[in-house]
Amino acid sequence: MKDKNINNNRKSLRLKSYNYSLPGAYFITICTYRKKGILSGMINNEIGLNQFGKIIENEWMKTEQIRNNVELDEYIIMPNHFHGILFIKSRGVLQYAPTTNKFHSPSQNIGSIIRGFKSTTTKKINQLRDMPENPVWQRNYYEHIIRSENELDRIREYIRNNSLRWQYDKENPIGKPDKIEKDFWKNFV
Contact present, 39 and 32 (Cβ < 8 Å) = yes
CA distance 123 to 81: 17
**Tens digits of residue pLDDT in 141-185:** 999 999 999 999 999 999 999 888 877 777 776 644 333 333 443
What fold characterizes domain 20-92+102-179? Alpha-Beta Plaits (3.30.70)
Predicted confidence at residue 187, as pLDDT, reads 45
Averaged pLDDT of the chain: 79
Predicted confidence at residue 9, as pLDDT, reads 54
Is the whole-model pTM more than 0.85? no
CA distance 51 to 57: 10
Q: What residue ranges do the domains of the chain occupy?
A: 20-92+102-179
